[in-house]
Structure 1
Amino acid sequence: MALAFTKMHGLGNDFVVLDGTRRAITLDAASARAIADRHFGIGCDQILIVDPPRSPEADFGYRILNADGSESGQCGNGARCFARYVREQGLTDKRRIVVDIRDGQMVLEQLDGAEHRYRVALGVPVFEPADIPLAGFERAADYCLTDVAGRQAVDFAALAIGNPHAIIQVPDIDSADVAVLGPALESHPAFPERVNVGFVQVVARDHVRLRVFERGAGETLACGSGAAAAVVAGIDAGRLDPHVAVDLPGGRAEVDWAGHGEPVFLSGPAERVFDGKLVSSEVRA
């Protein structure tokens, strides 16, 4: 079969975007892995599918598949690419759109005076352990696990913004043990739905550096919901201001959060790399 796609990225967090509004697309896990494979497929961190809306107030549905074929509930970098894609494909001419995601809705908006920069409302952060989910803990500002990759103790903050996130504060992200602690925490029994693991270095009250090990994808050049989670955790702990620049390996994003009960906003670029058609016996749409 021939499957039309667009390759896009947000700060190096790369995506294959598919239009499910003109033709219904159902990818099984094996097909998603085949598309995401960087040697035998197109290669990407996530696959984004534009669907018809499920609710009357939405413009589109938004589905996200990780490189391992699992489904994700949120992708902020992908959402910006989604917003650019639907405009360039002629699916809408709106600068502000509402999309149905797995667990609710998101608002995507093209920024004034910035052709390829977008602002995404990611929703209200969730802190209750049962809702993250984080097993075996009562709600606290910080948590500690003592059985991670042979370490004596790992301290972290935890919250959910569409996806579960564990945030570890480090003195220097360049020397952070992402390759060991990332996968160990991602699949730790304390996180029954796995977890995205962020390693954050506070540079100033309005500036952090961040690396993220994403569930289902490994370490990526950028993670939008991870950037938001790191800033929210820092603001909640009193270390950061309401507006923070986040430097990721792939570039800079900006996060705004007014506090508990308020949505968190992520701003940054969305880039289109190329269009193509995938022909593969391994892909079953």
Structure 2
Amino acid sequence: MLINFWKMHGLGNDFVVLDDRDEAIAGHIDYSDLAVRLCHRRFGIGADGVILARHSDTHDIRFVIYNSDGSQPEMCGNGMRCFAKYLYENSILVQDEIKVQTLAGTVVPRIEKKQDGQVVSVCVDMGVPRLVPGQIPFVHDGAMALGVPIETAQGTLSVSCVSMGNPHAVIFVNDLSLVDIESIGSMVENHHRFPEKTNVEFIEILNDSQMKMRVWERGAGVTLACGTGACAAVTAAHLTGRTGRKVLVHLDGGDLQISWDESSGHIFKTGPAQAVFKGNIDI
């Protein structure tokens, strides 16, 4: 079966994006197997994940994502910006704001900037962060989990836990350059107190309105950016008195502007989305 794809990225967090509204791909191959095959960086196209456009009876479109290891996360902020660009530039949905069905609930991306008919920047309404430990999920008795110690093979770590429809463990550090992202990230991702595993964000606060972030993504490892992770990090930073509600997050792949609206409680994430190349592949 020959399928068309777009290779895309949001701040270096890269995806293979496909249209499966007719379910032809689903009828031919399991999505998990497809993701493992297409995402392989030597034997496939190479990506952190595969995103598929699916029909929805309740929303404008349905967003389905699989990680490079074949696991299925609930949502992806960087992927959602790429998704909005893909839909617009393929004339699947041409309105500036769309309602998208995800496993994390309704997500609303809005095209912020266009140039020569191409989408340059997208703002995504990421909804309200979830802080109740059982909803993250994280095993903890308190009403929230901010600065909670967990025991690991490398000693005690302090984590602040937030769900943006997917779980995040935020770790504040003094100097990002001194952190072993791979070993600590893997350890925390698989910690027994996270029953569905977790994404892990390492944060160095620069000032009230800026932070540096590196990320270990559940099911993908170290990536250049994570949109939901940036939202979780700003949530945790504000609630622990480290930043305000509007923060520029500097990631390995570039910058995201995160704004936590006080009146609605919604978090808005604005950043770029880019197409790398387009092609077809026989699956």
1:41-69 deviation digits (Å, cap 9, x = unpaired): 111101111111231xx210001111111
> Aligned residue for 1:77?
78
The root-mean-square deviation of aligned C-alpha atoms, in Å, is 1.5
Partner residue of 2:195 out of 192, 196, 204: 192
- Structure 2 SS opposite 1:111: strand
Runs of at least 5 residues in structure 1 that lack an aligned partner in the other structure: 281-285
Task: Give me the whole-angstrom Cα distance separating, in 2, the residues matched to 1:69 and 1:54.
Answer: 26
Paired AA for residue 150 in structure 2: L
Q: How many residues align?
A: 276
Q: Structure 1 runs of 4+ off > 3 angstroms? A: 22-25, 112-115
Report deviation, 1:156. Answer: 1.0
> Aligned residue for 2:8?
8
Q: How do 1:37-76 residues align onto structure 2 when only pairs under 5 Å count? A: 37-55=40-58, 58-76=59-77
Percent of pairs with identical residues: 37
Task: Give me the whole-angstrom Cα distance separating, in 2, the residues matched to 1:28 and 1:241.
Answer: 40
> Aligned residue for 1:165?
168
Paired AA for residue 120 in structure 1: V
Contact 2:15 2:79 in 1 (8 A): yes
Paired AA for residue 128 in structure 2: V
Contact 2:167 2:199 in 1 (8 A): yes
Report deviation, 1:172. Answer: 1.4
Seen in structure 2, the aligned counterparts of structure 1 residues 269 and 112 have a Cα distance that, compared at 3 Å, is closer
Contact 1:236 1:259 in 2 (8 A): no
Q: Does 2:220 match 1:208?
A: no
Paired AA for residue 16 in structure 2: V
- Structure 1 SS opposite 2:80: helix
Report deviation, 1:260. Answer: 8.6
1:65-112 deviation digits (Å, cap 9, x = unpaired): 111111111101000000000011110210111100013110010114
Q: How do 1:92-111 residues align onto structure 2 when only pairs under 5 Å count? A: 92-111=93-112
Q: TM-score, normalised by structure 2?
A: 0.94
Task: Give me the whole-angstrom Cα distance separating, in 2, the residues matched to 1:126 and 1:254.
Answer: 20
Q: How do 1:1-285 residues align onto structure 2 when only pairs under 5 Å count? A: 1-26=1-26, 27-55=30-58, 58-112=59-113, 115-139=119-143, 140-146=145-151, 148=152, 150-259=153-262, 262-280=265-283
Task: Give me the whole-angstrom Cα distance separating, in 2, the residues matched to 1:127 and 1:260.
Answer: 17
Task: Give me the whole-angstrom Cα distance separating, in 2, the residues matched to 1:46 and 1:174.
Answer: 26
Contact 1:54 1:100 in 2 (8 A): no
Task: Give me the whole-angstrom Cα distance separating, in 2, the residues matched to 1:25 and 1:266.
Answer: 31
Task: Give me the whole-angstrom Cα distance separating, in 2, the residues matched to 1:24 and 1:240.
Answer: 47
Task: Give me the whole-angstrom Cα distance separating, in 2, the residues matched to 1:126 and 1:159.
Answer: 6
Runs of at least 5 residues in structure 2 that lack an aligned partner in the other structure: none
Task: Give me the whole-angstrom Cα distance separating, in 1, the residues matched to 2:263 and 2:12.
Answer: 30
Task: Give me the whole-angstrom Cα distance separating, in 1, the residues matched to 2:132 and 2:97.
Answer: 31
Q: TM-score, normalised by structure 1?
A: 0.93
- Structure 2 SS opposite 1:64: strand
Seen in structure 2, the aligned counterparts of structure 1 residues 21 and 75 have a Cα distance that, compared at 3 Å, is same
Task: Give me the whole-angstrom Cα distance separating, in 2, the residues matched to 1:251 and 1:28.
Answer: 29
Task: Give me the whole-angstrom Cα distance separating, in 1, the residues matched to 2:236 and 2:69.
Answer: 27
1:230-249 deviation digits (Å, cap 9, x = unpaired): 01110111211111000000
1:127-152 deviation digits (Å, cap 9, x = unpaired): 11111000244234221112x1x222
Contact 2:170 2:233 in 1 (8 A): yes
